[in-house]
């Protein structure tokens, strides 16, 4: 299946299993418009539907990962009385995305507002040492309403979440890592680091990756450990048991060889 048409980002494939999405509005610090939100929603849906792909990476061109919403467009919408639309998956199709396959944020620079909301809901976050994070909405009279507020509380705790949401102050990459928002701070090429991790993920059973991710997300959504485990076993795990990859993985281990995975049908 061909990828969806894009004009606000660039799609590339570091390996046949990895989709790299690069926001490409450097003069606008990769701010995302309403149309851009729909475009990215289509891209992530395509990632989930394309059998060959296992993992996605999101980054930005220039000195910003994403500085948030296109405020010029927002101002024009306010002046005309039109309401800005956003997909159910949230800002950039990512801030409220559930999805099937993991997405890694390669934060190469400024990560503000909606950009930070996307990072908060990404499966992993790798940051350049020069990257900065902020939810500055309160400084503009608006609210980080694309899903970040309840999620950031779970990531960094109530008090730190309140500090981010109520002051709008900027966190440097190392502080964001200390708070638990960032997995790793990278001195060199943050995209290369993400590709290396994505290759690790893509080398595993695609079925097991999807089901393992679902198990973590069930807890993320507030289910207790027992309830989440029961739901995972009753639903996603049963589908995994019916697939070929679980048998291939065990057989390959016994035969002391590298497994040959099939595209996931989950």
Q: Which of 36, 56, 60, 114 is catalytic?
A: 114
Question: How many Å apart are CA 190 and CA 125, to the nearest integer?
Answer: 10
Mark whether 69 is an active-site residue: yes
Q: Which of 67, 69, 148, 228 is catalytic?
A: 69
Q: In the numeric block, which tokens belong to residue 120? A: 């908060």
**Which of 163, 183, 202 finishes a domain?**
202
Q: What is the CATH number of the domain that holds 70?
A: 3.90.226.10
Mark whether 175 is an active-site residue: no
Helix axes 148-156, 158-167, angle to 10 degrees: 140
Mark whether 117 is an active-site residue: yes
pLDDT digits (tens, 9 = 90+) for 7-44: 999 999 999 999 999 999 999 999 999 999 999 999 99
Boundaries of domain holding 34: 9-202
Q: Is the pLDDT of residue 199 over 90?
A: yes
- Note the pLDDT of residue 200: 97
Maximum Cα–Cα distance across the chain: 67
Residue count of the chain: 266
- Note the pLDDT of residue 221: 84
Considering the domain architecture, whether residues 222 and 161 belong to the same structural domain is answered as no
Q: Is residue 85 part of a domain?
A: yes
Mark whether 235 is an active-site residue: no
pLDDT digits (tens, 9 = 90+) for 65-116: 999 988 777 667 666 667 777 899 999 999 999 999 999 999 999 999 999 9
Q: Which of 137, 148, 208, 243 is catalytic?
A: 137
State the DSSP string of 88-139: TT-GGGTTT---SS-EEEEE-SEEETHHHHHHHTSSEEEEETT-EEE--GGG
Considering the domain architecture, whether residues 111 and 239 belong to the same structural domain is answered as no
Considering the domain architecture, whether residues 126 and 72 belong to the same structural domain is answered as yes
Question: How many Å apart are CA 28 and CA 99, to the nearest integer?
Answer: 28
Considering the domain architecture, whether residues 246 and 184 belong to the same structural domain is answered as no
Domain count, the chain: 2
Cβ atoms within 10 Å, residue 208: 18
Q: Which residue has the higher pLDDT, 75 or 1?
A: 1
Q: Which of 17, 38, 39, 117 is catalytic?
A: 117
pLDDT digits (tens, 9 = 90+) for 112-171: 999 999 999 999 999 999 999 999 999 989 999 999 999 999 999 999 999 999 999 999
Considering the domain architecture, whether residues 145 and 45 belong to the same structural domain is answered as yes
Please state the pTM of the whole predicted model: 0.94
């Amino acid at each position: 299946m061909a990828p969806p048409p894009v004009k606000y980002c660039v799609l590339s494939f570091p390996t046949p299993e990895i989709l790299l999405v690069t926001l490409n509005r450097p003069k606008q610090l990769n701010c995302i418009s309403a149309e851009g939100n729909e475009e990215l929603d289509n891209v992530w849906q395509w990632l989930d539907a394309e059998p060959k792909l296992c993992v996605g990476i999101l980054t930005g061109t220039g000195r910003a990962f994403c500085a948030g919403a296109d405020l010029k467009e927002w101002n024009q919408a306010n002046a005309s009385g039109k309401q800005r639309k956003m997909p159910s998956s949230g800002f950039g199709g990512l801030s409220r995305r559930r999805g099937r396959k993991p997405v890694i944020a390669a934060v190469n620079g400024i990560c503000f507002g909606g950009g930070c909301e996307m990072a908060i809901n990404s499966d992993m976050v790798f940051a350049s040492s020069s990257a900065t994070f902020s939810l500055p909405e309160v400084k503009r009279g608006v609210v980080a309403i694309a899903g970040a507020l309840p999620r950031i509380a779970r990531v960094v705790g109530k008090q730190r979440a309140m500090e981010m949401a109520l002051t709008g102050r900027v966190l440097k990459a190392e502080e964001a890592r200390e708070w638990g928002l960032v997995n790793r701070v990278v001195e060199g090429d943050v995209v290369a680091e993400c590709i290396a991790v994505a290759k690790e993920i893509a080398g595993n059973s695609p079925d097991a990756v999807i089901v393992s991710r679902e198990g973590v997300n069930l807890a993320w959504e507030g289910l207790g450990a027992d309830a989440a485990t029961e739901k995972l076993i009753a639903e996603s795990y049963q589908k995994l048991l019916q697939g070929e990859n679980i048998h291939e993985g065990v057989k390959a281990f016994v035969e002391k060889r590298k497994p040959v995975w099939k595209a996931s049908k989950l």
